């Protein structure tokens, strides 16, 4: 459950820290006090969009931190799948906003917004003021059904997804083959031209590198020859200035005096090695010069061969290996074209086979969905009766889409009847905003029990309801609070009276600064807040007595009938 909320420098919030408790946590306050900002801070952890104007004026950053105590086994398994492991049973999610950017962390480690959103989805679920409107869309209705039967539906959906992917691949392959005789002839001629052009070149791997070296050598023949001849003279034994002649003379001079000093013997040996090495170098250089041949014909043939290879590279690939791979690919295409009728027939058979597989797995998925839909219908009816739908019927109607999708072929429609003798009709044609909100509440309660999400947040679930219906909603919230942690923002005293923990959100104005604060209400302070909800601006002794009685009756109700 959510045990601690820390918000700093976010809109009207300078800094607040809230310790939430188990069960039903109720948040109340005057309109405009900042309840929506508080909820918005939590939604930021769920991946909500950020902007620079979220940061409180004159502050350099905004910070939201949520600390969860994770006790539920399914939640731990879901977090483990995300490579998130609670530390001492706790998970800390934080998001720091600076100049339109955010730094996201999970247990102190930097994460992406997507990772943060996925982690938060394992731990809490938010029902915002207008989310119930999404129930009017069939995609959302199907999403809810799939979530309800996820242990069997999700594996079946994965099979459909894989089959649909193969089905689309078969369609693409068949379309690629679908061409008339003129198109095939043009394609065949083009492929034959490319293949023959590459074959004619008779390429060999590594040939281009060798030719490049040869071309550089032939292109600089004169420079090479002039430089080598100079080196041969400089290191040779012809003439007084040759290095070989000078080293030889030096060696002879040194040999004359070594007989007088044995220590000179090592120097003589070293100089003798230099003389030998220089002699060998000069001899090898002379041999290389004798072998050098530079003729225009060789240069022309090398240049021509390189032009052919480079021309092919410009068309088919940067390396000879790429050109040969391209040739092989075109050969395969040509082979298929020459066996067009056979390949086209095979592609049609493959498409038919893949469609049959997709039909089967889609049918299996639909069958499982229909099984769960019957269970969900009964639970929704029971849940709606708890929420003061006195005579209600609810059904999930199935129809088939015109074409396959990666989610099967099911179209579903939630239908409801809220009056005796009234036919079932789609939600959008019969229910009001308040009724739609209660239907979503019933569904949230059902899904929460199956998913074992520990924390549920409801933002003004009481929109459009009052009187007996409000009392029923409050009882439903109290029942949910026995199995889950619930955070509920409300204006209704009937719901607020059911609180296990009651918080007040207040707006304070000091000079030119406006701040939002939140603090727990205990005992008489909670009674006073209930009285404000009951009586408005003027709180009389009678209103206070009514509030006190409402609180006492709510506690009796929770301790007896709602157990």
| End-to-end Cα, the chain, rounded Å | 21
In this prediction, residue 342 carries a pLDDT of: 81
* pLDDT tens-digit readout, 280-307: 888 888 887 777 766 777 778 888 888 8
DSSP-derived letter for residue 238 is S
Classify domain 2-129+451-522 at the CATH class level. Answer: alpha beta
In this prediction, residue 99 carries a pLDDT of: 77
- Flag whether pLDDT at 258 surpasses 70: yes
The percentage of residues in the chain with a pLDDT greater than 90, rounded to a whole number, is 24
- Flag whether pLDDT at 411 surpasses 80: yes
In this prediction, residue 375 carries a pLDDT of: 94
- Flag whether pLDDT at 420 surpasses 90: no
- Flag whether pLDDT at 458 surpasses 90: no
Whole-number Å distance between alpha carbons of 409 and 364:
11
Picking from 198-202, 221-225, 320-324, which range would have the lowest pLDDT averaged per residue? 221-225
Cβ-proximal residues to 8 (8 Å cutoff; 6+ apart), any chain: 14, 15, 62, 63, 64
Instruction: Give 378 or 287, the one with higher predicted confidence.
Output: 378
Q: Which residues pair with 93 in a beta bridge?
A: 66, 106
Nearest to 437 by CA among 27, 30, 134: 134
The percentage of residues in the chain with a pLDDT greater than 70, rounded to a whole number, is 93
Cβ-proximal residues to 511 (8 Å cutoff; 6+ apart), any chain: none
**What secondary structure, in 3-state letters, does 463-495 show?**
CCCCHHHHHHHHHHHHHHHHHCEEEEECCCHHH
Mean pLDDT of 518-523: 90
CA Rg value for the chain: 42
* pLDDT tens-digit readout, 60-109: 888 999 999 998 888 888 899 899 999 989 999 999 988 768 889 999 99
* Cα of 287 vs its chain's centroid, Å: 68
Whole-number Å distance between alpha carbons of 558 and 149:
31
In this prediction, residue 92 carries a pLDDT of: 94
- Flag whether pLDDT at 130 surpasses 70: no
* pLDDT tens-digit readout, 148-194: 998 999 999 999 999 999 999 999 988 887 776 777 788 888 998 99
Across 208-222, 390-404, 416-430, which has the greatest mean pLDDT? 390-404
Mean pLDDT taken over the chain: 85
Q: Does residue 480 contact residue 491 with C-beta atoms inside 8 Å?
A: no
pTM over 0.85: no
- Residue 107 Rama label (left phi>0; alpha psi -120 to 50; beta): left
Q: Name the segment(s) of the chain with CATH classification 3.40.50.300.
A: 2-129+451-522
């Amino acid at each position: 459950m959510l045990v601690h909320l820390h918000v700093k420098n976010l809109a009207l919030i300078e800094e607040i820290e809230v310790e939430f408790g188990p069960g039903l946590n109720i948040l109340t306050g005057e309109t405009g006090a900042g309840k929506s900002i508080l909820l918005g801070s939590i939604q930021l952890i769920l991946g909500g969009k950020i902007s620079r104007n979220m940061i409180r004026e004159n502050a350099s950053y905004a910070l939201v931190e949520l600390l969860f105590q994770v006790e539920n086994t399914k939640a731990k398994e879901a977090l483990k799948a995300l490579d998130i492991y609670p530390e001492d049973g706790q998970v800390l999610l934080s998001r720091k906003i600076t100049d339109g950017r955010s730094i996201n962390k999970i247990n102190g480690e930097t994460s992406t917004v997507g990772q943060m959103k996925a982690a938060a989805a394992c731990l809490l679920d938010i029902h915002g003021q207008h989310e119930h409107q999404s129930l009017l869309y069939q995609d959302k209705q199907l999403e809810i059904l799939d979530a309800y039967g996820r242990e069997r539906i999700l594996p079946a959906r994965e099979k459909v997804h894989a089959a649909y992917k193969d089905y689309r691949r078969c369609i693409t392959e068949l379309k690629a083959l679908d061409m008339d005789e003129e198109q095939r002839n043009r394609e065949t001629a083009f492929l034959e031209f490319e293949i023959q052009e590459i074959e004619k070149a008779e390429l060999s791997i590594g040939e281009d590198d060798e030719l490049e070296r040869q071309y550089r050598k032939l292109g600089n023949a004169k420079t090479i020859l002039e430089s080598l001849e100079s080196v041969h003279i400089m290191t040779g034994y012809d003439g007084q200035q040759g290095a070989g002649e000078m080293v030889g003379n030096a060696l002879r001079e040194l040999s004359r005096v070594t007989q007088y000093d044995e220590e000179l013997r090592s120097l003589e040996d070293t100089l003798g090695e230099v003389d030998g090495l220089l002699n060998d170098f000069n001899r090898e250089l002379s041999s290389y010069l004798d072998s050098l041949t530079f003729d225009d014909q060789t240069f022309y043939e090398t240049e021509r061969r390189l032009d052919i290879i480079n021309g092919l590279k410009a068309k088919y690939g940067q390396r000879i290996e790429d050109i040969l791979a391209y040739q092989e690919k075109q050969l395969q295409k040509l082979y298929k074209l020459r066996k067009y009728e056979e390949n086209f027939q095979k592609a049609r058979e493959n498409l038919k086979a893949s469609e049959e597989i997709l039909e089967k797995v889609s049918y299996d998925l639909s069958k499982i969905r229909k099984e769960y839909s019957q269970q969900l219908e009964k639970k929704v009816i029971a849940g709606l009766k708890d929420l003061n739908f006195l005579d209600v019927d609810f059904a999930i109607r199935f129809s088939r889409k015109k074409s396959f999708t990666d989610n099967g072929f099911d179209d579903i429609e939630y239908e409801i009847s809220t009056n005796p003798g009234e036919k079932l009709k789609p939600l959008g044609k019969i229910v009001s905003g308040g009724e739609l909100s209660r239907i979503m509440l019933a569904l949230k309660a059902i899904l929460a029990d199956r998913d074992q999400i520990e924390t549920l947040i409801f933002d003004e679930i009481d929109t459009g309801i009052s009187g007996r219906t409000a009392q029923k909603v409050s009882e439903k919230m109290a029942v949910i609070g026995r199995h889950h942690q619930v955070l509920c923002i409300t204006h209704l005293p009937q719901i607020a009276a059911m609180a296990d923990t009651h918080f007040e959100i207040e707006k304070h104005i000091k000079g030119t600064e406006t701040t939002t604060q939140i603090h727990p209400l205990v005992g008489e302070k909670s009674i006073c807040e209930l009285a404000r909800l009951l009586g408005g601006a003027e709180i009389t002794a009678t209103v206070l007595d009514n509030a006190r009685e409402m609180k006492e009756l709510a506690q009796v109700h929770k301790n007896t009938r709602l157990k």
